[in-house]
Chains A and B, each alone.
Chain A
Amino acid sequence: MQSFSSLLLSLRSGFDSGFIYSSGVVWYFCRSCLQSDQLLTSHSLTQKREKASVQRGRGKKESAPNLLCGRLIIIEDIVTQIQDETDGVPIRTVKSFMTKIPSVVTGADIVQWLMKNLCMEDPAEAMHIGSLIAAQGYFFPISDHVLALKDDGTFYRFQAPYFWPSNCWEPENTDYAIYLCKRTMQNKTRLELADYEAENLARLQRAFARKWEFIYMQAEAQVKKKDKTERKILDSQERAFWDVHRPVPGCVNTTEMDIRKCRLLFAVSTNSDSCHLLFQILFLNTQLDRHCMKMSKVADSLIMYTEQYMEYDPLVTALEPANPWASDDPSFWDLEASKEPSQPRVKKWGFSLEEALKDPAGQELFLKFLESEFSSENLRFWLAVQDLKRMPQQEVAQRAQDIWTEFLAEGAPSSINLDSHSYERTSQNLKDPGRYSYEDAQDHIYKLMKSDSYTRFLRSNVYQDLLMAKKKQGRRTSLEKFTRSVVSVPLLGLHSFKLRIK
């Protein structure tokens, strides 16, 4: 990767483009421009920057800068806008004691600008986002290594675009060593190394013992006499660069990448392959034939579902007894695990057959009801098929056969009522028995149960009694309910599963 040291050497150094701050003006240069001897002033900076990003191949290189945090391009837009002369923050030279501090802006100004332009009501949010942008390396406090934004008079300076993370820097330890060396050469107290930097320098000296002369020479070459203001600014920007790539211990290293995104660096786009296109055409044709619902119906359905379940949602409605996580009291869970289901839980079984079957107590009650009507074979078939889907592969074929003998064969002990079409298809499937051989049959039986047995169950005495009885009990206090239904458990986890395993 390009070494930043070349920034300070001759312009004809052999890389394509960059920025130099010189004589109060930022110069943009690129190889082609050099050849034609053109240099631009900061006024045309934005236009040139756009051209530069196109030159960098922003279009096809989108994946690489996005790897770091996904949004560098957006952040760079924000940073460019914030430095805008008319709409941005006031960047000025500030007089302090005997010196002038060039090109700074206060933290409060940045926070205000962010709040206004990113539509935030809370300054805490603006400070948070600002700190993150700083941590990425786009601006920095002039007298601190820790990259965070404060909402006060602390001075900040913007980073040179040359040092922006989107240039895919991967600076090496030799560069870091040269930089630390340079710092030690300058006799200024404000440039003294921090503790962690001194440690790093010592470590690098040991690691690069043989190369050290070379590193020293590079450092010397870079410590050139330059205009004081220019020097100050460049120094601070360089230091901020290293604060991003070699952060203070304890600070977040924003250059860390998610390993899962690394593969994107090497991905080959296959979208224009003819195989892929043909596949897509086939897929799109099937999609055109699909029957879809209107948005208004969909919206109504979603709203209905959510409203129905909202009273059961602990994060939306306050619980009784209180949410264990907030109150540190697990009595809510003890109640749920008890043998007697609470009234809201019984009510939930009435929402849909699915809900009733999901809850082991509901499933038990439903089965008992069906047995009393001598029509339990449907539910038992459905449960058997659910079990089949979870069997280990070796046992699947045998179990499928067993289900056939038990429920579907001629003269089966618990014969279920299947229409001839599904019956045909199922017997076909069983020629090669698998996990999903009974899908059709199961669907059919489920619909039957839903429209027939389930509706009768909801009107039945067994269910209504439980529902009403709980309503009456509801007048008791939650404390009484708790003492009545508590069951002592050695391990909460195991107990709740005893309800499921039959």
Chain B
Amino acid sequence: MCKHYLYSILCISTSLCFKPFRCRSLPAQRKYMRSPPIPEMATQEVQLSETLAHLKTESDTLKGKLEEERAKLHDVELHQVAEKVEGLGQFVMKTRRTLKGHGNKVLCMDWCKDKRRIVSSSQDGKVIVWDAFTTNKEHAVTMPCTWVMACAYAPSGCAVACGGLDNKCSVYPLSLDKNENLAAKKKSVAMHTNYLSACSFTNSDMQVRLSRMGEDTCSSFVTALHHFFDLTELFKVFRHVLHDFMSLQGCDKKANVWDMRSGQCIQSFETHESDINSVRYYPSGDAFASGSDDATCRLYDLRADREVAIYSKESIIFGVSSVDFSLSGRLLFGGYNDYTINVWDVLKGTRVSILFGHENRVSTLRVSPDGTAFCTGSWDHTLRTWA
């Protein structure tokens, strides 16, 4: 039994530091052991499965203990404390602008720091930069692939990054000269074997944080160099505004917080019943919200290390595709697969408003940098700005 432990631990330490961590099935593990004569293999199989069972029970008891410890500090619910807070009045939020121009599903969008420009990408391979206030299209780039799943605006407003099924992230500088061929000036950061599922700029134009689908890794690209760290089943990574070294990630039913400097997972939360589609930090950085296919949004606090609120209703049965907070963190906006947007009171846990308008599922939702409006992109080929 001890022999197996030792080899397994060696496995882990090397893979954490240097290589992508792949959860290898048993045959690969045997690479590290001298191949034993055949009659012994049978007994080793039995021993390995015993080890697995033992490990599983140990892991389960630890989880139970952790849950117990956390429950001791759970003396009150957020909405109970929030009863003393004044209720919000009636909300009148409507579509203020509709941006039409994409030929297929809008998959991703991002705001520019100037609070009125937007970049959006869609399944038809087009990336369009709009002045959402006037609804004019300012730039349009055609990517060589369809399903452009990620796009981001650079902090200076002078470039956009996008990527998708072409397995790489391309950065296009935006020029005011309409005649200039933007595609000719692009810079590409090549990726490995899988497609780009999310990208965002860190605080400077030089750095882009990317996440890949399917591979067990997430990378932060800093021009040529990248930090690798190891994950299981990556889904989305979002950069936090205040702390430039922490990263949130929703992966399957778990939400993880990573320290980009050390490559370690600092905290992990698993209370959703289905895949998490979107995670977003609360404005102060001490908490975050997640939206999932189980039709709920949940608020997790990093200091209490647990879930503090659930936002759900019996009448909401379709999953959430993306969430975002208003400037103060009082409102949580969720874009759902039932074509609607639900607005939640974060502190009291109640739904403030439901917004109709889109004709197909809402795929992306972002609040503007100064909080004056939020924009949604949908599979109905349009983007809408609401205020």
Residues of A within 8 A of B (CB): 66, 69-71, 74-75, 78, 118-120, 124-126, 128-129, 132, 252, 256, 259-261, 263-264, 267, 270, 272-285, 287-288, 290, 292-296, 298-303, 305-310, 312-316, 319, 323-326, 330, 332-333, 336, 354, 386, 389-394, 435-436, 439, 491-494, 496-497
Contacts and interface: CB of A to CB of B under 8 A. Distances in A.
Could you say which of B149, B275, B282 has the most chain A C-beta atoms within 10 Å of its C-beta?
A: B275
Given A302-B301, A309-B327, A497-B157, A281 B387 contact: no
Nearest to A119: B314
B175 to A, nearest CB: 13
A12 to B, nearest CB: 38
Given A263-B213, A288-B65, A325-B387, A274 B48 contact: yes
B315 A306 contact: no
Contacts, number: 280
B73 A293 contact: yes
A323 B82 contact: no
Contact of A292 (B213, B283, B286, B303): B303
Contact of A306 (B75, B96, B328): B328
Interface stretch (B38-46, B182-190, B337-345): B337-345
Interface in B1-19: 4, 8-9, 11-12, 15
A7 to B, nearest CB: 29
Given A281-B55, A284-B63, A296-B81, A302 B318 contact: no
B301 A278 contact: no
A198 B149 CA distance: 36
Contacts of B141: none
A461 B241 CA distance: 31
Given A69-B319, A325-B373, A390-B203, A493 B304 contact: no
A261 B379 CA distance: 15
B100 interface: no
Contact of B23 (A275, A293, A301): A275
Given A303-B347, A315-B371, A333-B116, A129 B315 contact: yes
Contacts of A252: 359-360, 379-380
Given A128-B340, A309-B283, A330 B133 contact: yes
Nearest to A314: B372
A341 to B, nearest CB: 14
Given A295-B306, A313-B371, 18 more contacts: A70-B319, A70-B337, A125-B315, A126-B315, A128-B356, A274-B55, A278-B9, A292-B73, A301-B303, A302-B78, A302-B347, A305-B328, A314-B370, A314-B372, A386-B203, A436-B261, A439-B261, A492-B116
A129 B338 contact: yes
A102 B66 CA distance: 58
Given A70-B319, A281-B59, A315 B387 contact: yes
28 contacts: A69-B318, A74-B317, A118-B315, A125-B315, A128-B339, A270-B232, A272-B56, A275-B8, A278-B12, A284-B62, A287-B305, A293-B301, A296-B76, A299-B81, A302-B78, A302-B287, A302-B329, A305-B328, A306-B329, A308-B328, A313-B326, A313-B330, A316-B330, A323-B387, A324-B133, A325-B373, A392-B222, A439-B261
Contacts of B9: 278
Contacts of A333: 115-116
Given A285-B62, A295-B308, A69 B337 contact: yes
Interface residues of B, number: 120
B81 to A, nearest CB: 4
Interface string B287-327: 10000011100000101111010000111011100000011
Contacts of B4: 274
Contacts of B361: 69
A118 B12 CA distance: 48
A299 B78 contact: yes
B75 A295 contact: yes
Contacts of A272: 52, 56
Given A330-B133, A435-B222, A496-B114, A315 B326 contact: yes
Contacts of A78: 317
A283 B268 contact: yes
Nearest to B346: A306
B202 interface: yes
B273 to A, nearest CB: 10
Given A128-B338, A290-B305, A439-B261, A270 B23 contact: yes
Given A292-B305, A299-B308, A492 B76 contact: no
Could you say which of B55, B63, B88, B213 has the most chain A C-beta atoms within 10 Å of its C-beta?
A: B55
Interface string B66-92: 100110011111100110010010000
Interface in B229-285: 232-233, 235, 242, 244-245, 261, 265, 267-268, 274-275, 282-284
B339 to A, nearest CB: 7
A281 B12 CA distance: 12
Could you say which of B56, B114, B202 has the most chain A C-beta atoms within 10 Å of its C-beta?
A: B114
B23 A71 contact: no
Nearest to B89: A316
Interface string B154-190: 0011000000000000000000100000000000000
B113 interface: yes
Contacts of B286: 298, 301-302, 305
B109 interface: no
B119 interface: no
Contacts of B56: 272, 277
B329 A326 contact: no
Contacts of A301: 286, 303
B25 interface: yes
B290 to A, nearest CB: 14
A386 B204 CA distance: 10
The 5 A-B residue pairs with the shortest CB-CB distance, nearest first, are A390-B204, A270-B23, A70-B319, A309-B328, A493-B114
B210 to A, nearest CB: 15
A282 B265 CA distance: 11
Nearest to A282: B12
Nearest to A296: B76
A501 to B, nearest CB: 8
A305 B317 contact: no
Contacts of B223: 392-394
B317 A129 contact: yes
A316 B326 contact: yes
B33 interface: no
Contacts of A303: 81-82, 85, 347
A498 B69 CA distance: 51
A493 B157 contact: yes
A3 B385 CA distance: 44
B337 to A, nearest CB: 5
A260 B328 contact: no
Nearest to A301: B286
B85 A307 contact: yes
B55 A295 contact: no
A119 B339 CA distance: 19
Contacts of A125: 315, 354
